[in-house]
Structure 1
Amino acid sequence: MLKMTKFKNIVIEFLIFTFMFVITIPQAGASSTSYQNTKEAAREAVWKVITSGQGSSATVAVMDGGKIVYSEGFGAADRKAGRVVDRSTRFNIGSTSKMFVAVSVLLLVDEGKVNLDDPVVKYIPEFEMKDQRYREITVRMLFNHSSGLPGSTFLFGYDPEGEPYEMLLERMKRSNLKHDPGAVGIYCNDGFTLAEMIVERVSGQKFLNFLEKRVFQPLGMKDTGASIGESAGNISNFYDPETGKKYPPEVILVHAAGGLSSTAEDLCRFGDSFSPGGKKILSQSSIEEILKSQPTPFSAGLRGQVIMDSFGWDYSLLPSYEENGIKVYSKGGGTGAYSTGLQVLPEQRLVVAASISGKLNGEAVTRPVLNALMKDKGLPVPEERKKEKPVDPEIIPSELSAFQGLYANGGSFVRIRFNKERKKMEVLQLLPEGDEVPAGKEGPVLMSFVYNGGSFYSFEKDLRGYFIRNRDTSCFIAEKDPFYGIDNLMFQKVSEEEEPKKLLADMKDKIWLIRNLTPSIQLYRETAMVSSDTYSELPGYLTFMSPLRVEDDHSATYAAPLFRDQSELEIFESDGTLWVKSGIFLFSDAEKTKVLKSGRNSVMIGEKGYNEWYRTGSGSILSFEKPEKDRVMVLREESERLALFDSITDDGEVYVPEGSYVVCIGQPGDMFTVNVK
């Protein structure tokens, strides 16, 4: 179950792990440099990932001066066939795909067919939102993540199901913006799907065809294309690190937002096109555009550097490198099964790329390789960050007292308060109704800070921060994040409602079941169940996947709009059933779930095609009969765990404990049999 009351650790914790060596592919060097440090760093990084269970295979490549100077494959691409990863083995690259639509739009800018500061509706007139500010969203805002769109509208899967453009446009018609267009950069996948649509409308070509002709072929990228589940061939399969189960090749139809596959070498060729001396497909003015900062008013109010203020890149500088005069550009990517990192130093004409079959931060691999490459080239390498020495607490200035109160992050609510002596700040978890501590007690303290010299320090969490006012909202900002050295939002203050509103149904401590899953949807260590909670300290608010503020008896909107991937909520009754619509998913209340009886249970998918859910009344052994293309899953309430049974990877019988859920996913009229003994 997605327990949204659990505190989300908003301190970015990145596992600096890495991968396993099996095949070496040496290349002719760009100079007499041996690249020994580079090779050793890559192998050490990959070994860490593999041996720590973070991934099963990988590819790493390094380019210097336009030549591949190191390229190596790690692990098995197909264990059963004994096929290892080689230089042409493709991985899904996730959000690294975003840079390809950034280049595509700039190619159209070069031709005078697109203006970055034109409104999106000029190119996609059927794009509409409930919030009329959508007309102010420009093409540029799609690339620095400042459009204000809710976040992510797509499905990962194992078959090409659905129409992503229609799915996005339909959701937008009933959605509000999270903030004024252009105000703040918050990671947003949906903006890149709109950009993909612009490329198709303006060019008259399918996006993949445009890329093939205008990007892949000119740059010699022979091993880049659609996601591995669409294109097949020499791909690296995904194996669960815990069980060793092989999953079907992943299909991602939002190609611009995250649906391309590639090799590390091809990514290096792409990265080199931004360097002086690299093979150019963009005009000089467009290269300058894609490499320059794209700031927002929110970032201008912070003390330090931020990410997202770039044209598609995650960042266009890192402070520790910038101090040495080195400009670093980076774009990572993660899917349900793969991780990628691409780092480019245009002025030095160096590129590092890596992809991993596994879920982690791709930069955990590329960063140590980049540092080793810089050492090999005689460039200054940032010093390893050291933990800050504890400081003596000072009295918190009285003018900061107004910042105390109730806050939210992307998934939960907290209380921030100063102690009586104003020498300590505490962040307390706000407990949902039903979980409250005894009278006179409080929720758990999640972190404590002392104040010194204008900043708050949590030495236990290796974290410091400060408060700002952003228009009419107070925010607590993490200062100089340990991994990136940038500032990022931790908490956004929520207003306590004078006349709090209520939804038509009590949302206290409920479980909700997704009813519109497709048979091929990717649910890897994810769940199809969501919890909702309410809070006695914060009437008029709830959590349902994200923090929400009730607007009326049928709807709730964003309570923390400055965080990524937020969804509003609609609640209604139909045919005696309580339903919730959130994002692209439809949910029903789990309280009415039927219990499986001992023996043979027949299940039919109804005329609307909704998934059918059942519970086990006691510990049982289950087996299933189903149509070939349909799916059965057995799930527990705990989130982030593998399904007890998933017909995508499993067959035969399975033991399930009492209270487990069985979901049958198919087409209207399809029949399933669940045998219980």
Structure 2
Amino acid sequence: MMKGRRIILVLFILCLLLAGCDDNTPLDAMENIAGALNISETVSYEITGKTATVKANLLTSKYETNSVQYALIDHGDIVVSGQSGKNDEHGQRPLTKDTLYGIGSTSKMFTTVAVMQLADQGKISLDTPVIEYVPGFKMKDERYKQITPRMLLNHSSGLMGSSFTNVFLFEDNDTYAHDTLLEQLSGQTLKADPGAYSVYCNDGFTLAEILVEQVSGMDFTSYIHRYITEPLGMVNTKTPLDSLDGMEMAGLFYPTYTGQLPNETVNVIGTGGIYSTAEDLVRFSTVFTGGKEEILADKSAAATAQDEYKTPLWPDAADNSIDYGLGWDSVNLYPFSEYGMKALTKGGDTNLYHASLIVVPGQDMAAAVVSSGGNGAYDQLLATEILLQALKEKGAVAEFKPEKSYGAPVKADMPESVLQYSGIYGASNATMKINISEGGVLSITSEQSSDNPAQSFGYSADGTFRSTDGNTMISFVTEENGRTYLWNRQYVLVPGLGQIAVSVYNAEKLQSQDLPAETKEAWIKRDGTYYLLDQKYTSLMYLVSPSIELKMSKQLPGYMLDKRITGLNTAVSELQIPGGNGRDLSDLTFFTQDGVEYLKMGGFILVSERALKPFNFAEQSTVTIPSSGYARWYTVSDKDGGKVIKMNTPPNASFAIYDEKGKCLYFSVIGGKDEVVLPLGGAIVFAGDAGAEFGISVQ
């Protein structure tokens, strides 16, 4: 294939020499033709390969990444590929180019392609309401009838966010979240008019997955294999519903837990559940660089790269990593925009896996990075470094651009009118205090992490606030909807890996409200820790986030987190923030059952720490999961701290033990020990199917 194109190129150059070059054959046109014929095939990419190796080793040595895998494709040929790090606890299992990683939300691009294929075939229209294709889709909010497939793909549907009960499980492909999504949505309202603005939404892609299934008549896994992975030769791309061999998966570790973890399954496949390799992902990228009409029409591939984010509610143009297309996180990725190139990117982060795919259609090139540990931003930076080095090596980039900054503040007197922007601002499940002094100093403190030092910014002559190093610029915008936003523009430098640019509305200003005395008193009593009850016994949540903290705002009367209190037992999240900080909104509803008060939040059921009792660890004890299926939480009393317990755990259940700070010390799904030491002041949870009975003895 490469040899054939070289012959064509030689003949083309020979023709130019015979015909002679005149003013009607401009040099840039010749360069464009040469680029189309891939003159870079004579490039060895030796420098790019060495750069990739060095940067990948940096990730695994300095940035808490267990292992990383990377690949670069140019005009359909994989020209760089490699890996770094450890794949198991003892270094006995090799890490190869075929080792599979979870790619998280990069899976959304497979869903996007599937939807676009159906549109190519005339089976759906992107702008016809979803209810035409998924008759079972209903919501409490009548505006749901306006939601279209396009809105699912560009994050503008108005859906609240993520229905993630039993999504992240250890080696368990339970399809509960997929199977119950329509039922869960039927009890929800929308947070905005469909199409009003784009805010990241996982449920939109699970709904799009269901749309693909109902229109095609195939389950999603079978569909993507038949129409995407098999035609592209992606033999190392699978889903939790495929037959998976643990030996082919990347090893998983968690920073605060000793030992290797079982494989993580993400059971919303079209949203974040696909496994793949870096090489397979760059093979997938060829769908978006053209010439794969048998898979997706070029016009449809190009349509995914349109500026879908451009709604009235979006920050003005700036260097950024978040500018939504159809599926894509960005269709104008920095720093490629600095070189006059359009780059597309989609990242993915689960609890344990991370991924990044960057495609430069105009150069017919792409890079993919997948990892265990670390984070998707690091993967994106590595993919960027690989692509830029390759572009330089092939001559498409002359020199690397310097890192950018907004510049330090230029001292000036601040108008008194700017003081009005002081107040409490909300983002998803968080609030922050903004204080602006008459001397022109803006400080930001988190209400949820008040121990963290305040961030300070100085007023500058152009009306913005800036950090002393010039990397962050903040201003305030009151949009047409009457809401005021904190606009954050930032260049983030990760030493050795490069620079990411971000331009987002970070938060929205909230207005206080008076509460009746009875309501205020009831909510003040609810401050504290709440523990998950309705997660399956294989859930990663018991390891990574088994509880949440609720705290009434001390400076913003009438709010719990970002949620406005509306009654004795209810609070609603009313944020309208585009991008990522208004995602995954959830209301709060308290209810009482059998004398115990429970909290419903975003589909999860939780119970307050005040309802937890010490467990009486006698010589022989039993714990039975109730008919509700709720997990049972207990504290460890002073008299039991330090005791060794032996647990007889039924096959459909698990238990976990936590220290006094909430750190998971032991989770039976991971570890195989029968005997565990009880930590003083800690807690223990029993989870399982209804009726599961644990036998406990004290040693």
TM range, normalised to the smaller chain? Answer: 0.7 to 0.9
Check whether the contact 1:98–1:256 (CA below 8 A) recurs between aligned residues.
yes
Distance, in Å, in 1 between the alignment partners of 2:444 and 2:63 is 33
Matched, 1:334 2:349: yes
Please give the per-residue CA displacement for 1:28-61, whole angstroms capped at 9, x wherever unaligned.
Answer: x962212122112221222122223622222211
Deviation at 1:187, TM superposition (A): 1.3
Distance, in Å, in 2 between the alignment partners of 1:168 and 1:431 is 31
Q: Look up the match of 1:649.
A: 670
How does the TM-score come out when normalised to structure 1?
0.88
Q: Look up the match of 1:12.
A: none
Partner of 1:628, secondary structure, is coil
Partner of 1:427, secondary structure, is strand
Query: Would the alpha carbon gap of residues 428 and 520 (structure 1) be closer, same or farther in structure 2, given more than 3 Å must change?
Result: closer
Equivalent residue letter for 2:656: M
Please give the per-residue CA displacement for 1:251-298, whole angstroms capped at 9, x wherever unaligned.
Answer: 222111011111111111110221144565211321221122113424
Deviation at 1:654, TM superposition (A): 3.3
Q: Look up the match of 1:94.
A: 104
Equivalent residue letter for 2:106: T
Selected match of 2:55 from 45, 50, 69? 45
Selected match of 1:630 from 650, 653, 661? 653
Query: Would the alpha carbon gap of residues 430 and 598 (structure 1) be closer, same or farther in structure 2, given more than 3 Å must change?
Result: closer
Check whether the contact 2:158–2:191 (CA below 8 A) recurs between aligned residues.
yes
Q: Give matches, 1:516-665, under 5 Å.
A: 516-523=534-541, 526-543=544-561, 547-562=562-577, 563-600=582-619, 601-618=621-638, 619-623=641-645, 624-636=647-659, 638=661, 641=663, 643-650=664-671, 651-665=673-687
Selected match of 2:408 from 390, 409, 412? 390
Selected match of 1:246 from 251, 260, 264? 260
Q: Look up the match of 2:391.
A: 374
- Between 1:275-284 and 1:565-574, the stretch displaced more is 275-284
Distance, in Å, in 1 between the alignment partners of 2:629 and 2:444 is 45
Check whether the contact 1:74–1:84 (CA below 8 A) recurs between aligned residues.
no
Q: Look up the match of 1:161.
A: 174
Matched, 1:668 2:690: yes
Unaligned stretches of 5+ in structure 1? 1-28, 438-442
Partner of 2:501, secondary structure, is coil
Partner of 1:538, secondary structure, is coil
Please give the per-residue CA displacement for 1:480-521, whole angstroms capped at 9, x wherever unaligned.
Answer: 443443411212111122556658554442221211121111
Selected match of 1:266 from 250, 270, 280? 280
Selected match of 1:130 from 137, 140, 146? 140
Q: Look up the match of 2:33.
A: none
Greater fraction helix: 2
- Between 1:382-391 and 1:601-610, the stretch displaced more is 382-391
Check whether the contact 1:183–1:296 (CA below 8 A) recurs between aligned residues.
no
Q: Look up the match of 1:19.
A: none
Deviation at 1:236, TM superposition (A): 1.9
Q: Look up the match of 1:513.
A: 531
Matched, 1:464 2:473: yes
Matched, 1:454 2:463: yes
Equivalent residue letter for 2:503: D
Matched, 1:425 2:433: no
RMSD between aligned residues: 2.7
Deviation at 1:532, TM superposition (A): 1.3
Check whether the contact 2:428–2:585 (CA below 8 A) recurs between aligned residues.
yes
- Between 1:643-652 and 1:129-138, the stretch displaced more is 129-138
Distance, in Å, in 2 between the alignment partners of 1:146 and 1:54 is 34
- Between 1:274-283 and 1:510-519, the stretch displaced more is 274-283
Distance, in Å, in 1 between the alignment partners of 2:142 and 2:465 is 39
Please give the per-residue CA displacement for 1:364-392, whole angstroms capped at 9, x wherever unaligned.
Answer: 32122122212212222552414554233
Q: Look up the match of 1:294.
A: 308
Matched, 1:312 2:335: no
Please give the per-residue CA displacement for 1:516-561, whole angstroms capped at 9, x wherever unaligned.
Answer: 1211111375221122111232221112xxx211122232111534
Partner of 2:212, secondary structure, is helix
Partner of 2:544, secondary structure, is coil
Check whether the contact 1:318–1:486 (CA below 8 A) recurs between aligned residues.
no
Equivalent residue letter for 2:688: G
Distance, in Å, in 2 between the alignment partners of 1:375 and 1:369 is 10
Check whether the contact 1:572–1:578 (CA below 8 A) recurs between aligned residues.
yes
Q: Look up the match of 2:218.
A: 205
Check whether the contact 2:156–2:196 (CA below 8 A) recurs between aligned residues.
yes
Check whether the contact 1:631–1:648 (CA below 8 A) recurs between aligned residues.
yes
Q: Look up the match of 1:349.
A: 364
- Between 1:506-515 and 1:273-282, the stretch displaced more is 273-282
Query: Would the alpha carbon gap of residues 236 and 402 (structure 1) be closer, same or farther in structure 2, given more than 3 Å must change?
Result: same
Check whether the contact 2:173–2:241 (CA below 8 A) recurs between aligned residues.
no
Query: Would the alpha carbon gap of residues 199 and 278 (structure 1) be closer, same or farther in structure 2, given more than 3 Å must change?
Result: closer
Deviation at 1:225, TM superposition (A): 1.7
Check whether the contact 2:103–2:275 (CA below 8 A) recurs between aligned residues.
yes
Query: Would the alpha carbon gap of residues 509 and 674 (structure 1) be closer, same or farther in structure 2, given more than 3 Å must change?
Result: farther
Check whether the contact 2:331–2:344 (CA below 8 A) recurs between aligned residues.
yes
Partner of 2:83, secondary structure, is strand
Check whether the contact 2:277–2:370 (CA below 8 A) recurs between aligned residues.
yes
Query: Would the alpha carbon gap of residues 484 and 667 (structure 1) be closer, same or farther in structure 2, given more than 3 Å must change?
Result: same
Q: Give matches, 1:119-198, under 5 Å.
A: 119-154=129-164, 155-158=167-170, 159-198=172-211
Q: Which has the higher contact order (CA 8 A, sep 6+)?
A: 1
Query: Would the alpha carbon gap of residues 285 and 542 (structure 1) be closer, same or farther in structure 2, given more than 3 Å must change?
Result: same
Check whether the contact 1:56–1:241 (CA below 8 A) recurs between aligned residues.
no
Q: Look up the match of 1:10.
A: none
Matched, 1:65 2:39: no
Check whether the contact 1:271–1:344 (CA below 8 A) recurs between aligned residues.
yes
Partner of 1:245, secondary structure, is strand
Equivalent residue letter for 2:213: E
Query: Would the alpha carbon gap of residues 228 and 659 (structure 1) be closer, same or farther in structure 2, given more than 3 Å must change?
Result: farther
Partner of 1:587, secondary structure, is strand
Partner of 1:520, secondary structure, is coil
Equivalent residue letter for 1:180: D
Distance, in Å, in 2 between the alignment partners of 1:215 and 1:503 is 57
Distance, in Å, in 1 between the alignment partners of 2:242 and 2:224 is 18
- Between 1:302-311 and 1:179-188, the stretch displaced more is 302-311
Deviation at 1:663, TM superposition (A): 0.2
Q: Percent identity, please.
A: 29
Distance, in Å, in 1 between the alignment partners of 2:491 and 2:143 is 33
Please give the per-residue CA displacement for 1:410-469, whole angstroms capped at 9, x wherever unaligned.
Answer: 332222232134x2222244479xx9x9xxxxx963433323313211226831121111
Query: Would the alpha carbon gap of residues 391 and 539 (structure 1) be closer, same or farther in structure 2, given more than 3 Å must change?
Result: closer
Distance, in Å, in 1 between the alignment partners of 2:279 and 2:353 is 17
Deviation at 1:666, TM superposition (A): 1.3
Check whether the contact 1:128–1:169 (CA below 8 A) recurs between aligned residues.
yes
Q: Give matches, 1:405-416, under 5 Å.
A: 405-416=423-434
Query: Would the alpha carbon gap of residues 218 and 583 (structure 1) be closer, same or farther in structure 2, given more than 3 Å must change?
Result: same
Equivalent residue letter for 1:605: I
Q: Look up the match of 2:506.
A: 490
Q: Look up the match of 1:6.
A: none
Distance, in Å, in 2 between the alignment partners of 1:318 and 1:508 is 43
Query: Would the alpha carbon gap of residues 98 and 554 (structure 1) be closer, same or farther in structure 2, given more than 3 Å must change?
Result: same
